[in-house]
Chain A
Amino acid sequence: MPRELTQNRIQKIWIPSKDDRPSMPRTSRGGPHLANPPTVIVMVGLPARGKTYISRKLTRYLNWIGIPTKVFNVGEYRREAVKHYSSYDFFKSDNEDAVKIRQQCALAALRDVKNYLTEEEGQVAVFDATNTTRERRDMILEFGAENGFKIFFIESVCDDPNVIACNILEVKVSCPDYQDCNKTDAMEDFKKRIECYRMNYQPLDPDQYDKNVSFIKVIDVGRRFLVNRIQDHIQSRIVYYLMNIHVQPRSIYLCRHGESQHNLQGRLGGDSGLSTRGRKYAGALAKFVEEQNLKGLKVWTSQLRRSIQTAEALNVPYEQWKALNEIDAGVCEEMTYEEVRERFPEEFALRDQDKYYYRYPSGESYQDLVQRVEPVIMELERQENVLVICHQAVMRCLLAYFLDKSADEMPYLKCPLHTVLKLTPVAYGCKVESISLNVDAVNTHRDRPEEVKRGPSTLIRRNSVTPLTSPEPNKKPRIEGLDDPIIREVTPAQLTLCSASHTTLALSTQNLKICSIECHEPPQLCL
């Protein structure tokens, strides 16, 4: 007897109900590991090969598309255990005390990985360390087999001295390990640190030793890739993502269309044209873009009139993306918020209750938007300088990706009209500059209401995505509790340990750095 269906009030998803209560739909989720084993991504490579860069970027992407992911950086565990770093001597393979500490740190991190994937509902854990020896990797493969985790290696291989030197300057020299050193000394010490690993480095070997292991070898910062035995959808997505990212310096400019007629009336959605002030903004934007003097700037708009009108003023070629259209407000399209509150009071309340998951009747949710906009993100990763002229909800989604904001925060990010956000990748994160073009406009931002009752937790489905922020890296080594190892310990004599060396830079994705640069227009520019 087929079960009755009811429509979940927030997400508007039809689910079977039993005695008027929603019951779990028969999705293939089953138990935590039966249908969808968690994955451990294991980084491999000498220091300064971009492992932590890749770890954090990948984690940010996976969380944004709705896959709970977390980085476990062994270097951080080491810094907890050994409060003061003296020199590269710590990493010499004959330094027995250090070797022991480094191993304990790795084990502690793996224990946290296990906890995250089994107790905390994580789906992917990124184990960020050098993992340069076969012994270490074999141990991890066993750990995976014992716990029912899939293992996927990402190896970064690079021998270009310029790239290495650049990496060291960008993220090592300012790392906590070197806070009392000058740049030259730091560079020298770090290079010696790399040499400690190099002697015992056993790269992944697709022909023999590692031919049955799933991995991607990233060579020379993405010039070449070797991909072996992709097992499933998530590994395929990871490979695709890694093949599209690059490290060329560039900036991404995000802004909304100029103020529209509907904005003036306080109306949602629709396809109205620019107001007078909106047109003025478009002119100011053109001037701003010219002044930025950007190489090869691409301009993207949605297919809604107001964003195209804005782009037209720039007098440069632009591309229209339907995927950049504003969130579809369904039956509420073209209404003012007051009209919505009058005609659909329940919907109005539900939206405030859970703005991320809330789907307008016959419309979309932020959750839907993320899925719709994902190809735009992928193409943004491929591109260099791009200006995206879009809409409030869409811009919030894009911004949440770049600044690693959670599903909870995303619908309340501030994206005012007539303001350009300039995003520039730096170190492990993104620098943001907010530039108001000094043309007045209405404020379309609605803050989260004070008394919002949190509704029941909504269902997470694989193809309906749920961004989370990358969780804080776990800093506690808990070295004391290592009497019951979760993995078979390898005899220390043989093991050449590797641990990640990286830095938590102040300019991390968690700490949003915004500076406002006022752009002053000459007084004549008023219509």
Chain B
Amino acid sequence: MSSTEDVIMAIPRELTQNPLRKIWMPCKNGLPEKHISQKRVCMTNCPTLIVTVGLPARGKTYISKKLTRYLNWIGVPTKEFNVGQYRRECVKIYKSFEFFRPDNEEGLKIRKQCALAALNDVRQYLSVEGGQVAVFDATNTTRERRATIVRFAEQNGYKVFFVESVCEDPNVIAENIVQVKLGSPDYTDCNTEEAIQDFMKRIKCYENSYQPLDENLDRELSYIKIMNVGQRYLVNRVLDHIQSRIVYYLMNIHITPRSIYLCRHGESDFNVRGCIGGDTGLSPRGKEFAQCLGRFIQDQNIKDLKVWTSQMKRTIQTAEALGVPYEQWKALNEIDAGVCEEMMYEEIQEHYPLEFALRDQDKYRYRYPKGESYEDLVQRLEPVIMELERQENVLVICHQAVMRCLLAYFLDKSAEELPYLKCPLHTVLKLTPVAYGCKVESIYLNVEAVNTHRDKPENVDISRLPEEALLTVPAHY
């Protein structure tokens, strides 16, 4: 039977709401205490080392960079460590494939040193700098090399997850070489023929000693083996949430050429008046834009274009003008400005000057009272990104904050840059994957519209004067 002392529970700690993120945290004497809870789902309880495996020109760096971009975007601090880059630092001038011959002792020594240097930086990143995931991008084709890495990880308390890319399709390999090897610093002074020849011989150097991940010998390791650019996958021992997400992501990406078109709805009535949020319809100029967009799409003559909108009237009205089927996603709705919905910036400054200042201090993490933050938006948009990865040609008609989030994903922009990306009305951004990144074409459809972009003002202090706060508010009617 419990005694009286047990029964009267320890008084639960008081809660205070962090003014920026609107997160409730325990506090003592009015000051926030060490937060035992986390605001986001725990991805993993220790750092993860992702290790690529595969012959040259199998897409390891492509996967490393893309995965790193995705993980950073969803908020998992990730960094890639490309051993080839370390080698280029060490050996200033690349002469030929001979460097990679398995009997080139000097070469072997340098390459091993580079790998160790990279691992050292990995340790710095994960254990000292607070990184969560490190992607160790190298061939790692021998069991011995992988065992070294596993030992390293064990010593440091990291989980290891291998990503192996296996491909024997000569067309794919040839295409890879053309897309990313010819332009490599290694081959700046070579012509195309020479470069290809040399690179093929380079691959040969690795082939004899290549020990792919084996179903039996490597059955205790956690890994995904990607075969023939995603035709088939072998997944072994996924240990935690982050590995599960990585596997899901890798299984959804593809390399079929396509383009993604991002634009906002046509100018809305609220845009004209300088009000944020709400659910108004298009202004006359907005309607004109919708017509132009329709013509633009037709001219582009895009194969099997999918059109997506939000569930807000202004994007749907815009899509309606295209005369093609479209899909409405609630996830594409504009950021919820909570109590500030339908207000002009001037009104926000008047009624909520503190909130207005906080937003300028950290626009990415700032959550409107009873509303959302950019950080929330990213989480909301993740299924859209995943489906965009699966799809081919897509036109997304969305909103300013939403478009900034999507753009930041494709162009690898940081949380600091994201809320200030320029996404003007009546302008289509055409994104086409190329090499390791994304080509962007900006197409203004020549229909005038108000500017809705508000730059970060100089003075973000809560003590600032209203004029200082409103300095960067764009003009409106």
Q: Are B39 and A303 interface neighbours, CB within 8 A?
A: yes
How far, in whole Å, are A382 and B370 apart by their CA atoms in the complex? 31
Q: Are B7 and A525 interface neighbours, CB within 8 A?
A: yes
- Known interface pairs A225-B233, A311-B37, A319-B38; A524-B7 also in contact (CB < 8 Å): yes
Residues of chain A lying within 8 A (CB to CB) of residue B238: 243
> In the complex, what's the smallest C-beta–C-beta distance from B316 to chain A, in angstroms?
5
Query: Which of the candidate stretches B49-57, B202-210, B317-325, B445-453 sits at the interface with the other chain?
Result: B317-325
Cβ-based interface call for A224 (8 A): yes
- Known interface pairs A229-B231, A312-B12, A371-B330; A320-B251 also in contact (CB < 8 Å): no
- CB interface residues, A 306-331, toward B, < 8 Å: 308-309, 311-313, 315, 317-323
Contact with A along B284-328 (1 / 0, CB 8 A): 000100100000000000000010000111001100110111111
Q: Are B237 and A224 interface neighbours, CB within 8 A?
A: yes
Interface residue from A13, A27, A321 paired with B311 (Cβ < 8 Å): A13
Q: Are A312 and B387 interface neighbours, CB within 8 A?
A: no
Cβ-based interface call for B10 (8 A): yes
Q: Are B251 and A14 interface neighbours, CB within 8 A?
A: no
Q: List 24 A-B contacts (CB under 8 A).
A: A12-B311, A14-B312, A26-B326, A28-B325, A206-B232, A223-B236, A223-B237, A226-B234, A226-B235, A240-B251, A243-B244, A282-B9, A303-B24, A308-B15, A311-B37, A315-B10, A317-B36, A318-B36, A319-B42, A320-B39, A321-B41, A362-B279, A371-B330, A462-B327
How far, in whole Å, are A230 and B230 apart by their CA atoms in the complex? 9
> In the complex, what's the smallest C-beta–C-beta distance from A388 to chain B, in angstroms?
12
Q: Are B330 and A464 interface neighbours, CB within 8 A?
A: yes
How far, in whole Å, are A525 and B1 apart by their CA atoms in the complex? 12
Q: Are A243 and B232 interface neighbours, CB within 8 A?
A: no
Interface size on B, residues (CB 8 A): 64
How far, in whole Å, are A247 and B417 apart by their CA atoms in the complex? 44
> In the complex, what's the smallest C-beta–C-beta distance from A370 to chain B, in angstroms?
11
- Known interface pairs A286-B9, A313-B12; A224-B313 also in contact (CB < 8 Å): no
Cβ-based interface call for A295 (8 A): no
Cβ-based interface call for B252 (8 A): yes
- CB interface residues, B 411-459, toward A, < 8 Å: none
Contact with A along B320-349 (1 / 0, CB 8 A): 110111111111000000000100000000
Interface residue from B234, B247, B376 paired with A322 (Cβ < 8 Å): B376
Cβ-based interface call for B379 (8 A): yes
How far, in whole Å, are A368 and B42 apart by their CA atoms in the complex? 24
Residues of chain A lying within 8 A (CB to CB) of residue B10: 315
Interface residue from B323, B328, B387 paired with A13 (Cβ < 8 Å): B328
- Known interface pairs A224-B237, A228-B231; A28-B320 also in contact (CB < 8 Å): no
Interface residue from A14, A319, A522 paired with B37 (Cβ < 8 Å): A319
> In the complex, what's the smallest C-beta–C-beta distance from A8 to chain B, in angstroms?
11
A-B CB proximity, top 10 nearest:
A283-B9, A312-B12, A2-B320, A227-B233, A225-B235, A28-B325, A26-B325, A2-B321, A313-B12, A318-B37
Q: Are A305 and B387 interface neighbours, CB within 8 A?
A: no
How far, in whole Å, are A287 and B6 apart by their CA atoms in the complex? 9
How far, in whole Å, are A521 and B39 apart by their CA atoms in the complex? 33
**Closest residue of A by beta carbon distance from B311:** A13
Q: Are B232 and A227 interface neighbours, CB within 8 A?
A: yes
Cβ-based interface call for B109 (8 A): no
Residues of chain B lying within 8 A (CB to CB) of residue A283: 9
Contact with B along A330-373 (1 / 0, CB 8 A): 00010000000000000000000000000000100000100100
Cβ-based interface call for A458 (8 A): no
- CB interface residues, A 1-45, toward B, < 8 Å: 2-3, 5, 7, 12-14, 16, 25-28, 30
- Known interface pairs A16-B320, A462-B327; A239-B251 also in contact (CB < 8 Å): yes
Q: Are A27 and B325 interface neighbours, CB within 8 A?
A: yes
Residues of chain A lying within 8 A (CB to CB) of residue B387: 233
**Closest residue of A by beta carbon distance from B233:** A227
Cβ-based interface call for B94 (8 A): no
Q: Are A313 and B320 interface neighbours, CB within 8 A?
A: no
> In the complex, what's the smallest C-beta–C-beta distance from A61 to chain B, in angstroms?
15
Q: Are B290 and A2 interface neighbours, CB within 8 A?
A: yes
Question: Which of A225, A239, A273, A312 has the most chain B CB atoms closer than 10 A to its own CB?
Answer: A312
> In the complex, what's the smallest C-beta–C-beta distance from A392 to chain B, in angstroms?
19
> In the complex, what's the smallest C-beta–C-beta distance from A125 to chain B, in angstroms?
23
Residues of chain B lying within 8 A (CB to CB) of residue A304: 24
Question: Which of B37, B247, B316 has the most chain A CB atoms closer than 10 A to its own CB?
Answer: B37
Cβ-based interface call for B23 (8 A): yes
How far, in whole Å, are A313 and B12 apart by their CA atoms in the complex? 5
Residues of chain B lying within 8 A (CB to CB) of residue A308: 15, 24, 37
> In the complex, what's the smallest C-beta–C-beta distance from A92 to chain B, in angstroms?
34
Residues of chain A lying within 8 A (CB to CB) of residue B38: 319-320
Q: Are A5 and B316 interface neighbours, CB within 8 A?
A: yes
Residues of chain A lying within 8 A (CB to CB) of residue B39: 303, 320, 322
- Known interface pairs A309-B15, A321-B41; A14-B316 also in contact (CB < 8 Å): yes
Q: Are A317 and B37 interface neighbours, CB within 8 A?
A: yes
Cβ-based interface call for A406 (8 A): no
Contacts A27-B327, A322-B376, A463-B328 aside, 14 further interface pairs with beta carbons under 8 A come to: A14-B312, A14-B328, A28-B306, A224-B237, A225-B235, A228-B232, A236-B252, A240-B251, A305-B17, A308-B37, A318-B37, A368-B330, A462-B327, A463-B331
- Known interface pairs A243-B244, A463-B329; A26-B324 also in contact (CB < 8 Å): yes
How far, in whole Å, are A240 and B233 apart by their CA atoms in the complex? 13
Residues of chain B having any CB pair with chain A under 8 Å = 1-2, 4, 7, 9-10, 12-13, 15, 17, 22-24, 26, 36-42, 215, 219, 231-238, 241, 244, 247-248, 251-252, 279, 281, 287, 290, 306, 311-313, 316-317, 320-321, 323-331, 341, 370, 376, 379, 387, 390
Q: Are B244 and A224 interface neighbours, CB within 8 A?
A: no
How far, in whole Å, are A429 and B329 apart by their CA atoms in the complex? 33
Residues of chain B lying within 8 A (CB to CB) of residue A223: 236-237
- Known interface pairs A28-B327, A303-B23, A313-B9; A379-B41 also in contact (CB < 8 Å): yes
Cβ-based interface call for A279 (8 A): yes
Contact with B along A280-311 (1 / 0, CB 8 A): 00110011000000000000010111001101
Q: Are B232 and A229 interface neighbours, CB within 8 A?
A: yes
Q: Are A224 and B7 interface neighbours, CB within 8 A?
A: no
**Closest residue of B by beta carbon distance from A321:** B41
Cβ-based interface call for A445 (8 A): no
> In the complex, what's the smallest C-beta–C-beta distance from A150 to chain B, in angstroms?
15
- CB interface residues, A 255-278, toward B, < 8 Å: 271, 273
Interface residue from B241, B290, B329, B390 paired with A233 (Cβ < 8 Å): B390
How far, in whole Å, are A195 and B17 apart by their CA atoms in the complex? 63
> In the complex, what's the smallest C-beta–C-beta distance from A91 to chain B, in angstroms?
31
Residues of chain A lying within 8 A (CB to CB) of residue B317: 2, 5, 14
> In the complex, what's the smallest C-beta–C-beta distance from A160 to chain B, in angstroms?
14
How far, in whole Å, are A47 and B197 apart by their CA atoms in the complex? 54
Residues of chain A lying within 8 A (CB to CB) of residue B234: 224-227
Residues of chain B lying within 8 A (CB to CB) of residue A228: 231-232
**Closest residue of A by beta carbon distance from B376:** A322
Q: Are B311 and A312 interface neighbours, CB within 8 A?
A: no
Residues of chain B lying within 8 A (CB to CB) of residue A12: 311
Residues of chain B lying within 8 A (CB to CB) of residue A463: 327-331
Residues of chain B lying within 8 A (CB to CB) of residue A229: 231-232
Q: Are A379 and B241 interface neighbours, CB within 8 A?
A: yes
Q: Are B247 and A243 interface neighbours, CB within 8 A?
A: yes
**Closest residue of B by beta carbon distance from A237:** B248
Cβ-based interface call for A244 (8 A): yes
Residues of chain A lying within 8 A (CB to CB) of residue B232: 206, 226-229
Question: Which of A223, A239, A283, A320 has the most chain B CB atoms closer than 10 A to its own CB?
Answer: A320
- CB interface residues, A 192-235, toward B, < 8 Å: 206, 223-230, 233
Residues of chain B lying within 8 A (CB to CB) of residue A453: none
How far, in whole Å, are A481 and B45 apart by their CA atoms in the complex? 59
Residues of chain A lying within 8 A (CB to CB) of residue B24: 303-305, 308, 320
Residues of chain A lying within 8 A (CB to CB) of residue B1: 522
Q: Are B12 and A279 interface neighbours, CB within 8 A?
A: yes
Cβ-based interface call for A461 (8 A): yes
Q: Are B2 and A522 interface neighbours, CB within 8 A?
A: yes
